[in-house]
Amino acid sequence: MNNKQESDFSANISGVENPLRFGIIGAGARGAGSFGTMLRKHNGAVLAAFCDPNRLRAERAAARLEVSVNIYDDVRQMIACEKLDAVIITTPDCFHEENALAALESGVHVLIDKPLATTVHGCRNIIEAAEKSGKIVMIGFNLRHHPVLCKLKEVIDSGAAGRIFMIENREFYNGGRGYMARWNRFYGRSGGLWVHKGCHDFDVFQWLLGFPRPLRVGAFAQVSVLTPDNLPFTLRDGVRPGPRCHQCPYVEDCPDCVVVRDLKGGPWDDDAVAFDGIAKDECIYLSDKDTHDNGIAIVEYEGGIRASHLECFITPLNDRQYTVIGTRGQIEASLEQRQIIIRPRWGGEVITHQLPPNLGGHGGADPKLMKTFIEVLRGAQPNHTLLEHGMLATAVGQAAELSWRERRIVEVEELFR
């Protein structure tokens, strides 16, 4: 993050004279590279510590950030020793629940990067712990802070399209191929990509529509391309590819080679990976996986609203494209183009909103998310990202996973029994 981004992020936040103390649980790319970078020079907050069972990775992440922080492998010990105000949880998704419970039982506020948990049951456990502790828990649904989607919600709420009865989004994510090089490719660690990735989009649907209750979900998904028989280069006799990109003899031939920055001596080099087996550059074609590289999910909500979510990781594009249809017109939005188009149903002027470029990760959404959390902790604004919202997003994702794996329509209510 450059200085301009950091100064924008730090602007207009009170509490510089009494900064909040943060610990980050999970020293991976999201924890260190995103949240750690944002906190590094923030005037109203202090990054006090990293907690990660892989101490070597945490130490190297801190060195890369050029910050002096204490390293822990136990959440409760970190909170007790550092006297923290809040923690940010960025571990693999399957550990969100246990880390959130440990933090809440230790009496600190929590920001959980999405998803809240990988199952409805796990979400309920976090909600119960939050109620007992009385602490603030916010979910890292950063798309709610994306300028294009904030404008889209404003347009929908204005009634420009009338009563909404259909919404879709198509996520084309070139970078999603990298999921198959990391821990995300395992259902047991991520809850499946309908939970890990799709919960973003299912939450956006609910948020844009005013939180109607999801009723049932049907989903279809598959690994269509990222398999050993689809290697995008010709094998040479006796020369085996993989297993990690930096070790592969075909690194110059493969257009999908995953390049990890500062691999030697960094958080993801061979020494750090040897501790827990978590790498960032496993061959996306040869790696074991039980998630999907493309799929479509359809959700029916109360009130007769239908939504469809497409996600494809085999594409040259990087964009989320939305179509919202109501009784009075149609709205289209593109995050990549930063554009919203309103088309009246019975003719009339087509209105285009072109939003300016924005600094910061995820189209400017990450700095706004972090700023919002700090302001919520300071009491400057209410927490609008409720735990129940996170649970519903996980419920739709979990239902989608059950649907495509068991080949059936899933009633969302069954997950709450």
Whether residue 249 is preceded by a cis peptide bond, meaning omega within 30 degrees of 0, is no
- Cα 396–chain centre separation: 15
Average pLDDT rounded to a whole number, residues 123-151: 97
Last residue of a domain, one of 127, 142, 157: 142
Whether 3 has a pLDDT exceeding 60, the answer reads: no
Which amino acid type is present at position 360? G
Average pLDDT rounded to a whole number, residues 3-32: 67
Mean pLDDT of the chain: 93
- The 10 Å Cβ neighbour count of residue 227 is 14
For residue 18, name the pLDDT band (cuts at 50, 70, 90): confident
* Per-residue pLDDT, 96: 98
By residue range, what is the domain housing residue 240? 229-286
How many distinct structural domains can be found in the chain?
A: 3
Predicted confidence (pLDDT) per residue in 78-101, tens digit: 999 999 999 999 999 999 999 999
For residue 14, name the pLDDT band (cuts at 50, 70, 90): very low
Predicted confidence (pLDDT) per residue in 201-240, tens digit: 999 999 999 999 999 999 999 999 999 999 999 999 999 9
Predicted confidence (pLDDT) per residue in 375-385, tens digit: 999 999 999 99
Last residue of a domain, one of 93, 125, 142: 142
Whether 2 has a pLDDT exceeding 80, the answer reads: no
Domain assignment present for 368: no
Domain assignment present for 373: no
Is the model more confident about 214 or about 362? 214
Predicted confidence (pLDDT) per residue in 281-290, tens digit: 999 999 999 9
User: Do 150 and 137 share a structural domain?
Assistant: no
User: Do 280 and 173 share a structural domain?
Assistant: no
User: Do 275 and 255 share a structural domain?
Assistant: yes
Whether 349 has a pLDDT exceeding 70, the answer reads: yes
* Per-residue pLDDT, 7: 32
Last residue of a domain, one of 103, 123, 142: 142
Domain assignment present for 331: yes
User: Do 103 and 127 share a structural domain?
Assistant: yes
Q: Which residues contact 319 (CB under 8 A, 6 or more apart)?
A: 171, 172, 334, 335, 336, 337
User: Do 182 and 106 share a structural domain?
Assistant: no
* Per-residue pLDDT, 17: 65
User: Do 254 and 326 share a structural domain?
Assistant: no
User: Do 16 and 65 share a structural domain?
Assistant: yes
User: Do 137 and 73 share a structural domain?
Assistant: yes
Domain assignment present for 217: yes
Coil, helix or strand for 6?
helix
Give the largest CA-CA distance in the chain.
66
* Per-residue pLDDT, 11: 37
Average pLDDT rounded to a whole number, residues 352-372: 89
For residue 126, name the pLDDT band (cuts at 50, 70, 90): very high
Euclidean distance between CA atoms 267 and 249, whole angstroms: 23
Query: What is the domain-level CATH number for residue 177?
Result: 3.30.360.10
* CA-CA-CA-CA torsion sign (256, 335, 385, 367): positive
Across 129-262, where does the E strand assignment appear? 137-140, 164-173, 214-222
Q: Which residues contact 229 (CB under 8 A, 6 or more apart)?
A: none
